[in-house]
Amino acid sequence: MVATLKVNQIETVNGTGNITVTSGSKLVGADGGSISAPGTIVQIVQTVINNGITVNNTTVKAFDLSITTKLDNSKILAKVHYSTAHPGSYDDDDHAFALGYKSGATSSTIGDYSDCNGYAFTRHSVGGSLNSFMTSDTHPAGTSGTQYWAWHNSVERLITPSPALGAGTEINIALWAACDGTSYLGRTYGNAYSDAGAQQSITLMEVAT
């Protein structure tokens, strides 16, 4: 016979010490939000990008990913891996990269996104209200052969959305890229993505508070 135990709080007999689940048994939650403690990961989602992205004298949303919260007041840990192309000679193009977040579905409008603790570099920006996590005055110094190299980069941010999120809220995190010349993400200067390049990805984790 399977019994159902309904309680609001569990304590040890004397109020201190550990509550032990015996060997061979497991405490199993019905879903990702059933068992949580501050700082624990509630759920993880990821997408991998298999294409090259061109940034030609503009700002583009390179890629994004959404996650729907299971708990109230969660934070979101974003881990983004992206690659930039390396030219075969000196190329004086300014670049900027920023992360942004918004509640609700994805959007193609940068003004819909809020800043993810970037810095207000003055050299170049992606626009909107987003500060960059990286800005540069030029490409890396190029030489013969470097146009076939994909330069891998990463950024991580622990995001505390404002206003706080309720359970069941969709939140979208996007990587934005800007260049005042021509640059590429994922692919190289010398190859189409189908020939050579680097996979890119974004991973989102809901963190209980």
The domain locations on the chain are 45-207
Residue 195: the pLDDT is 93
Residue 76: the pLDDT is 98
What is the model's pTM? 0.89
Token output for 130 = 């987003």
Residue 10: the pLDDT is 84
Cα–Cα dist 169/120, whole Å: 29
107-148, pLDDT tens digit by residue?
A: 999 999 999 999 999 999 999 999 999 999 887 766 778 888
pLDDT beneath 50, residues of the chain: none
Distance of CA 175 to the CA centre of its chain: 8
Cα–Cα dist 126/132, whole Å: 7
User: Helices (H) and strands (E) in the chain — how many of each?
Assistant: 0, 9
Residue 142: the pLDDT is 67
* Region 45-207: CATH code: 2.60.120.1340
By 3-state DSSP, what share of the chain in percent is helix, strand and coil, each rounded to 5? Answer: 5, 40, 55
Cα–Cα dist 165/173, whole Å: 14
Residue 29: the pLDDT is 76
Residue 90: the pLDDT is 75
Residue 166: the pLDDT is 96
N-terminal to C-terminal alpha carbon distance within the chain: 36
Residue 194: the pLDDT is 92
